[in-house]
């Protein structure tokens, strides 16, 4: 047995031992990457996982690569060695000049010349890639290719087992135990191997999962300051949302202590003007959770309405103005109004009374976020088809935009002739997903509002005005929420 084959045999033994060691997924993949790099005499190795839509590759584990190289930016599976996802080993002999390498300039700065990639395929589904790197131009022998393929098969088993473990945890968190009936109620999600630095990041990821918004955790580091030829300061946002092309940075520090984080975000925007980033402070995050009844704001006692924000007269005047505008825009057409139960009932009822064009009305309902690991779903769909119809989505309030984003995608799939949005209230301070609102009644401050269909624990819907809820911390947990 040659020395190289001996290293390969020993390497596969070590990978098998690591895979059965009980380490966390990230530590397992880091150890596997180190073993593979050593066995092939490479400078580095990386285990990459495809996201749910098979558009981006996320690092699960790595060895021997600089932080700058690992965090150079999200890897687009369609641009970064795409051939490797089709079943074959792909070899790059000069990374800084090869068009199949997505970030050629970073490869050049980090002296990466050689890359070899092979797919990770459990069963018939490609779920990621295994890549090795060298600072020297070289080739892969047949024995090395066989070792790389065998290592990828072992990685596939590791990831498949991790997914089953997460599915089991998901069922247990939902309080269903291991009963067979739970399998029909909860679908296994895309593997999320992330080890979050703070529980708030995990909660935010769960919320994104519920609304089926793809996310990557800490996929890119941005150099902000240099010391000679080296980088002296970098900034790594917590999340990247590919569909929205937006970075999100969470900070749960006290408001008085976030000056440094604000400075970094401001410098990032100045140096990278094309980057879209949103900073969520502790207060922002608590308000976001409170709409679902979580956190100290969601556990507060209600002392009644603090003050009236819009009177009955103001609301009715604005509703009539919106109706006139809608009637003008849809003159000569038939219109379908669609609302989401239950908060929109008052607004929808008044709005349609003043619209002068022919109107059909339909309602939908969706599941609410509970933190139990489920995903959003339509619990009541449309009664009538909307193919080729002019549709106006009517909302009581839009804040984060995540619910509206999901609903608009669902309705657009029905191929209406047109699809617009009318919302009585717009709360842009909480916006995460940009949503185009064609008709808006009032833009409101970042306050919890009730009345005119909007509720707290099912109460206050019947108020003829819209008021700001007065709340006191220290009460019991609630299920209060408002639509987004």
Domain residue ranges of the chain, discontinuous segments joined by +: 3-167, 196-280, 302-472
Nearest to 276 by CA among 319, 245, 309, 242: 245
Is the previous residue joined to 101 through a cis bond, with omega within 30 degrees of 0? no
Catalogue the active-site residues. 399
Residue 363's Cβ-side half-sphere holds a number of Cα atoms within 13 Å equal to 11
Q: How many angstroms separate the CA atoms of 268 and 247, rounded?
A: 11
Low-confidence ranges of the chain (pLDDT < 50): 1, 176-189, 473-481, 483
pLDDT one-digit tens code per residue, 243-254: 888 999 988 666
pLDDT one-digit tens code per residue, 301-326: 556 777 889 999 999 999 999 999 99
Total-model pTM: 0.70
Domains 3-167 and 196-280 share a fold: no
Given a contact cutoff of 8 angstroms between Cβ atoms, the answer to whether 371 and 294 are in contact is yes
Mean residue pLDDT across the chain: 84
Q: For position 152, what pLDDT does the model report?
A: 94
Q: Read off the DSSP letter of residue 383.
A: S
Partner residues linked to 50 by β-bridges: 57
* Percent share of the chain, pLDDT over 70: 86
Partner residues linked to 48 by β-bridges: 59, 129
Does CATH number 1.10.287 belong to domain 196-280? no
DSSP string covering 398-467, please?
A: ESSSHHHHHHHHHHHTT--SEEEEEEEEE-GGG--S----SEEEEE--SS-EEBTTB-BTTBSTT-SSEE
Class for the domain spanning 3-167: alpha beta
Q: For position 475, what pLDDT does the model report?
A: 40
Q: How many angstroms separate the CA atoms of 234 and 250, rounded?
A: 16
Nearest to 191 by CA among 50, 22, 86: 50
pLDDT one-digit tens code per residue, 36-46: 999 999 999 99
Given a contact cutoff of 8 angstroms between Cβ atoms, the answer to whether 467 and 327 are in contact is no
Class for the domain spanning 302-472: alpha beta
């Amino acid at each position: 047995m040659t020395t190289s084959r001996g290293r390969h045999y020993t390497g596969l033994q070590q990978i098998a031992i690591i895979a059965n060691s009980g380490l966390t997924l990230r530590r397992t993949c880091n150890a596997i990457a180190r073993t593979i790099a050593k066995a092939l005499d490479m400078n580095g190795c990386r285990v990459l996982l495809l996201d749910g839509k098979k558009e981006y590759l996320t690092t699960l584990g790595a060895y021997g690569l600089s932080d700058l190289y690992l965090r150079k930016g999200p890897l687009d599976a369609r641009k970064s060695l795409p051939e490797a996802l089709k079943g074959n080993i792909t070899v790059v002999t000069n990374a800084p000049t090869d068009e199949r390498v997505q970030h050629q300039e970073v490869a050049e700065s980090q002296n990466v010349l050689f890359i070899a990639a092979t797919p990770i395929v459990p069963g018939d589904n490609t779920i990621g890639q295994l890549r090795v790197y060298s600072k020297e131009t070289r080739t892969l022998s047949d024995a090395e290719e066989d070792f790389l393929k065998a290592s990828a098969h072992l990685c596939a088993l590791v990831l498949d087992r991790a997914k089953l473990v997460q599915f089991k945890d998901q069922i247990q968190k939902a309080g269903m135990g291991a009963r067979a009936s739970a399998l029909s109620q909860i679908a296994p999600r895309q593997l999320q191997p992330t080890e979050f630095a703070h529980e708030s990041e995990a909660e935010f990821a769960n919320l994104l999962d519920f609304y089926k918004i793809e996310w990557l955790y800490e996929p890119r580091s941005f150099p902000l300051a240099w010391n000679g030829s080296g980088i002296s300061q970098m900034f790594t946002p917590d999340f990247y949302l590919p569909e929205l092309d937006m970075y999100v940075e969470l900070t749960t520090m006290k408001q008085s202590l976030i000056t440094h984080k604000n400075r970094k975000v401001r410098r990032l925007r100045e140096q990278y003007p094309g980057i879209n980033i949103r900073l969520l402070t502790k207060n922002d995050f608590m308000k976001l959770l409170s709409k679902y009844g979580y956190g100290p704001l969601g556990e507060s006692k209600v002392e009644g309405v603090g003050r009236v924000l819009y009177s009955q007269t103001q609301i009715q005047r604005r509703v009539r103005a919106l109706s006139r505008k809608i009637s003008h825009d849809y003159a000569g057409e038939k219109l379908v109004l669609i609302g989401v139960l239950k908060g929109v009932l008052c607004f929808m009822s008044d709005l349609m009374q003043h619209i002068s064009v022919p109107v059909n009305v339909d309602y939908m309902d969706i599941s609410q976020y509970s933190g139990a690991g489920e995903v959003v779903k339509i619990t009541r769909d449309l009664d009538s088809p909307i193919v080729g119809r002019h549709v106006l989505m009517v909302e009581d309030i839009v804040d984060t935009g995540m619910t509206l984003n999901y609903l608009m995608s669902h309705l657009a799939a029905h191929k209406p002739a047109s699809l617009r949005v009318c919302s009585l209230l717009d709360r842009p301070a909480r916006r995460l997903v940009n949503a185009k609102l064609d008709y808006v009644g009032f833009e409101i401050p970042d306050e919890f509002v009730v009345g005119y269909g909007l509720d707290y624990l099912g109460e206050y819907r019947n108020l003829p005005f819209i008021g700001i809820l007065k709340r006191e911390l220290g009460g019991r947990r609630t299920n209060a929420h408002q639509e987004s």
